[in-house]
With several copies, the nearest count.
Chain A
């Protein structure tokens, strides 16, 4: 039986396979070391990194919802310095594509994070988390607005030579406009979706189940919405797309690739099972074989609509 070619490209990033571990669902990496071999996965994205360390939100931070989960971790994190000193050396042991998920409370902070880590060789790309609540804008996130999206990406492109991936929020009316703004500002790729704004209430105490009141919904529940957004963006921009949202089987991966994603990220599935990515990698090979596909790149955007 001939080999299945799972290699793919996101612009100048060459991946062994299309499976990337999504930000915030795989820690900094070392947490998973005893469960998976990072050399086998296509790529890895760190938890969101602000410039300074952050405590994150009070608990409860998570709550299960039908086929999904709500989270409001509040981007607890160790800040760029400890990140560089403690995490990058860990990454250096492995041969896969590593990305830093860049967070910021203000436009400036995004730029500062990128600046600080720009010279790190082991960082292959920056995934700009445009969904962070902006402190000066009443908590609005930059990717709710095409101008904000444009200006953050533009500023980052000025100072970085690395691959810049703009990660979009799904909580918008016209995702196409936000994606185009990122493209025009020079983003090398777009990843989507981040979580959907959600909420749950404890009917006994009448309090929100999440201390922060609102949280982000992820997991299989959001898959059909995420896929629609990926396809919409695919039709609107020329830069490559990294799709995600509820992926939990090889079939789900192919749905995103056929709808236009050049690679995909796995989020909640890793929370549910630390080996989910490698299980899906195996499934994916079997499925490609069963469907008589040899090369995953041929499937990117191969969706047939109309007729």
Chain B
């Protein structure tokens, strides 16, 4: 039975501005992982005072080499430790966990990413292109510092946006949403995802969002990651790690 696996960091990329990628090698994971999925990653310090593993989305997959990528921003204790790891160090990781973005749709797919919320849409762009699906990726950040993967994304249909106009278009991602009926995927700050949903909710579009909530187990045992979700006419506390992280935006109780 599978639990945490100890995987070697085969490569590391320092993007600058507190963004990093770690590349890990594992055949099974590289084969089965799908955008939307995430991993729980233990903080690899001996007797660390930070005991809980941290969740990270799948970013890219390099199937030929059995390598996959986690992309993250340093925001606290755990991510700081991860940022200091080196090639050759090991990480204990559990997953892939969680559900997937539902790409079986006839409609054109619009992906809306804010900052580090870009992660799931990297590999997804590759998959959609391979499957010859029509899609647009809208990727926004505060300034050009927050826009990474520029070269990689240049092969895909990407609209870059920054609040200060220092890279791509100037404004908020929500200023550039195309009108129409789409299947919309969004990942980023909750307020952004909510606005994306507001924009499309009266159209014939369906919006799916990847929710973030503090997690402790990732396996569903602790009920720590529950969020209010509409199920029929009831509001339930649903575990993001089990029934998410991807939810239909109309089920999400936004007014929190």
User: Hey, which bits of chain A sit against chain B, CB under 8 A?
Assistant: 24-27, 31-32, 34-37, 47, 55-64, 66-69, 71, 73, 76, 219-220, 268, 270-275
Contacts and interface: CB of A to CB of B under 8 A. Distances in A.
A201 to B, nearest CB: 15
Contacts of B216: 62, 64, 69, 71, 271-272
Report whether over half of chain B's contact residues are helix, strand or loop; otherwise say mixed. loop
Contacts of B3: 35-36, 273-275
Q: Give 5 nearest A-B pairs by CB, closest first.
A: A62-B224, A275-B3, A31-B220, A27-B221, A271-B217
B189 to A, nearest CB: 15
Contacts of B67: none
A218 to B, nearest CB: 10
B51 interface: yes
A48 to B, nearest CB: 11
Given A64-B52, A67-B51, A273 B228 contact: no
Contacts of A32: 219, 221
Contact of B226 (A61, A63, A68, A274): A61
B53 A272 contact: yes
Contacts of B42: 272-273
A60 B215 CA distance: 10
Contacts, number: 110
Contacts of B52: 64, 69, 271-272
A56 B226 contact: yes
Contacts of A76: 223, 226, 237
A59 B213 contact: yes
Contacts of A275: 1, 3-4
A268 B1 contact: no
A43 B245 CA distance: 31
B13 interface: no
Contacts of B127: none
B219 A35 contact: yes
Interface string B207-239: 000000111110111111111100000011100
B17 to A, nearest CB: 19
Output the residue of A34, A58, A268, A273 with the most chain B CB within 10 A.
A273
A36 B4 CA distance: 12
Nearest to B224: A62
A20 to B, nearest CB: 14
